[in-house]
Chains A and B, each alone.
Chain A
Amino acid sequence: MKKFINDVENVENEMLEGIVLAHPEYVKRLEGFDVLTRADKKIGKVALVSGGGSGHEPAHGGYVGKGMLDAAVAGSIFTSPTPDQVFEAIKAVDAGKGVLLVIKNYTGDIMNFEMAAELAEAEGIKVANVVTNDDVAVEDSLYTTGRRGVAGTVFVHKIAGAIAEAGASLEEVKAIAEKVIANVRTMGVALKPCTVPAAGKPGFELSEDEMELGIGIHGEPGTERKPIQTADVIVDYLMERILKDMNPQSGEEVAVMINGAGATPPMELYILNRRVHQILADKGIKIFKTFVGDYMTSIDMAGASITLLKLDGELKDLLMAKADTIGFKMQ
């Protein structure tokens, strides 16, 4: 393992310190907790709290700010934050209008956020939650934990954050978040595994000529392991599954996110994006807005994911509404 770290025990804490030092105009640290809150707390709106394990930067602290999250809770690397931390975040940002928890669909995240919600409700705070599950690589059935929440979660932060900023009620914010969840689909691929610092070795193995299709953002196995192909063939594979699942019709509009897993350069992400645009153009599906970059990373994994969000007028307006955070800006 070769990383810029001091002590594996202090990675999350030192990262949070570094974030606050870099971006004091956006975020501040909730004293004594692994929680980042908006530097400009807005009073009288529904508050959005998200979070999860660390290692997905800029998620989730990078989305704290105007028009997106009010607080992000950082767990240990790839490990859900604990209920006491989430509870403190809820208390810190509740402005009396209620708090929406945006949870990615992982067993640990759901249990910890639910326990926090129970603690907050016991103190009279109105809490609702949504669970993101955009990863089409995982079968959604009664016999699994369900689809994983991956990069599409960022669109939930953006759009639910926009309507909350505009003064919507908790019920309305939750409803729009659920609408995004119903219309967003993602699939990823890994070329090289990631290494959790405390583990000191890669979470899985891929030989030099292999790729894992359908990879999860913590390196969870995907649908298939295959010899590496050209960028276009890989995009074709991922897009086939995403489109089959969401079934957009010719003339419909989508937002596209090409997300880097942490160790894939922008150059390669743009090459993937090119093919995504070709495929959608062939099908007569209009691209309203494209996002290319590292939005939901997996430490030092080489890989990428493609996210499509089906849009209507309401979602388009909220997607384009002003947002100003470390990791996502809309002018």
Chain B
Amino acid sequence: MATKAEVLDFIRIYADKMAEHRQELTDLDQAIGDGDHGINMSRGFKAVMEKLPAVENKSIDEILKTVGMTLVSTVGGAAGPLYGTAFMKAGMSTKGKEELSNEDVILAFDEAVGGIQFRGKAVRGEKTILDSMIPAIDAIKASIKEGKTMAVALVEAEKAAWNGVEYTKTIIATKGRASYLGERSIGHQDPGATSTAYAFQAANEVAQKAGK
């Protein structure tokens, strides 16, 4: 499960990570895209941090929707609509909730992935965000199904996300700007999959702190 304080914590830690890894994400994007992923994500999450105090006493869905709307209107590029839609869809699935059960968390992740797939018209294996996100969510589902705690599930999720990031080095990009490279995109790590893996790293850190 996740409390509202943990959801807020997750957003703050993720925002810190986007600032901290701004250059790394930008460098990855320069190799196969247009070299602005870190710049855009850190700009968007900086705006999120400015908006957060105004909504932190509202329900979880209001908080997540505000994050989504802020990302859509400040990140730009493809990442803005994709991450923005993910947070908005996750928000809508938690309507009125002050606390999330494990089932609620899984539903929110599923809705987020659905939103990204709708907006990006992509599937797994195209060297995108989905290549770290889907395995991570699958890992959460498998762990919870085996009766493990969310803290354990998120350790597995982060591992799966980074494995997904590694996997993106082995495949050809067929979506986004990296697709212009064709086979030359092999060997490069997808910046979107990487920024998503940091989301699971942030979630994992929150869960370990909570220890449940």
Contact = CB atoms under 8 A, between A and B. Distances in A.
Interface of A: 53, 75-85, 106-108, 111-112, 115, 138-139, 143-145, 148, 196, 198-199, 203-204, 216, 218-221
A138 B180 contact: yes
Contact of A112 (B81, B179, B184): B81
Nearest to A148: B180
Among A107, A196, A198, A220, the most chain B Cβ lie within 10 Å of the Cβ of A107
A80 B77 contact: yes
A85 B80 CA distance: 13
Nearest to A75: B76
A112 B80 contact: yes
A199 B30 contact: yes
A82 B75 CA distance: 8
A145 B179 CA distance: 6
Interface residues of B, number: 32
A304 B103 CA distance: 55
A144 B81 contact: no
A106 B35 contact: no
B175 interface: yes
A119 to B, nearest CB: 10
A79 B35 contact: no
A203 B78 contact: no
Given A82-B76, A107-B78, A144 B182 contact: yes
B34 A83 contact: no
A144 B36 contact: no
Given A79-B40, A83-B72, A138-B180, A145 B175 contact: yes
B189 interface: no
Interface in B52-94: 72-82
Contacts of A83: 72-73, 81
B110 to A, nearest CB: 21
B80 A82 contact: yes
A112 B36 CA distance: 16
Contact of A108 (B43, B77, B180): B77
Interface in B128-180: 172, 174-177, 179-180
B112 to A, nearest CB: 16
A84 B72 contact: yes
Contacts of A138: 180
Shortest 3 CB-CB distances between A and B: which pairs? A108-B78, A111-B81, A108-B77
Among B80, B82, B120, B181, the most chain A Cβ lie within 10 Å of the Cβ of B80
A203 B34 CA distance: 7
A218 B34 contact: yes
Given A143-B174, A199-B35, A111 B76 contact: no
Contact of A115 (B36, B72, B79, B184): B72
Contact of B120 (A77, A79, A107, A112): A107
A18 B183 CA distance: 43
Contacts of A199: 26, 30, 35-36, 39
B27 to A, nearest CB: 9
A220 B36 CA distance: 12
B95 interface: no
A182 B179 CA distance: 22
A108 B78 CA distance: 4
B39 A107 contact: no
